[in-house]
Amino acid sequence: MKLEVQKKNLIEELGVHLEGDNLAPLAARILSTLILSGKKGVTFDELVCQLQAGKSTVSTHLDHLQNSNRVKYFTKPGDRKRYFVIDPNLILNVMDEMIDKWEKEKKLHLKIKEYKKQCNCEAEETGDFQFDLDFQEDFLTFLEETSTAVKKFKAKLLVRNN
């Protein structure tokens, strides 16, 4: 199959997939395009044209993508255009986000565990425990272990890249 056709199909497929992470359709298409366009970068106008989108839309979404450390740009001397590329640390940033989210989740579930314990204490005399603390326990271990797995891999990457 011709490379251009392949690219268009992949942009769409990856785009749909990326929408899963709370990205607006067009934001997902932008990111997808950048992922599939490589180091040479894509300009603002190219994005507007290729995605058939409004300038304002592209501008806003590019802002978002840059603020969330997914996208960067570089310039060429004597050329006012910006060449957008995916942030070279994208994987690391994604991992950091995951770790962060799990960290928050852990704190929340510790609070919940506390609450459940208190509830079970109150029901002591009746012997009618409301909560199975195993669930909470398991979930916390789950978050812990998954977190460390990602952290380890992150460390490995960092060592290798230096």
Partner DNA sequence: CCTTTAGTTCGGAAATTTCAGAACCAAAGT
Partner DNA sequence: ACTTTGGTTCTGAAATTTCCGAACTAAAGG
- DSSP class of residue 38? G
Alpha carbon distances (Å) from 149 to 22, 93, 144, 156, 157: 24, 15, 9, 11, 13
Rounded to whole angstroms, the Cα distance separating 9 from 86 reads: 19
Q: Which pair of structure tokens corresponds to residue 13?
A: 């497929």
**Residue 36 binding DNA, by CB under 7 A:** no
Residue 60 binds which of its own copies, DNA, none (CB < 5-8 A, kind-dependent): DNA
Tell me: does residue 104 bind its own copies (CB under 8 A): yes
For DNA, give the closer residue by CB, 60 or 89: 60
Distance of alpha carbon 26 from alpha carbon 28, whole angstroms: 5
- The span of 40-48, 87-95, 96-104, 131-139 binding DNA (CB under 7 A) equals 40-48
Total residues at the site for its own copies (CB under 8 A)? 46
Q: Does 126 bind DNA (CB under 7 A)?
A: no
Interface residues for DNA in 43-62 (CB under 7 A)? 43-45, 52-57, 59-62
The verdict on 26 binding DNA (CB under 7 A) reads yes
Residue 74 φ then ψ, to 5°: -130, 165
Residues that bind DNA (CB under 7 A): 24-27, 43-45, 52-57, 59-63, 78-82
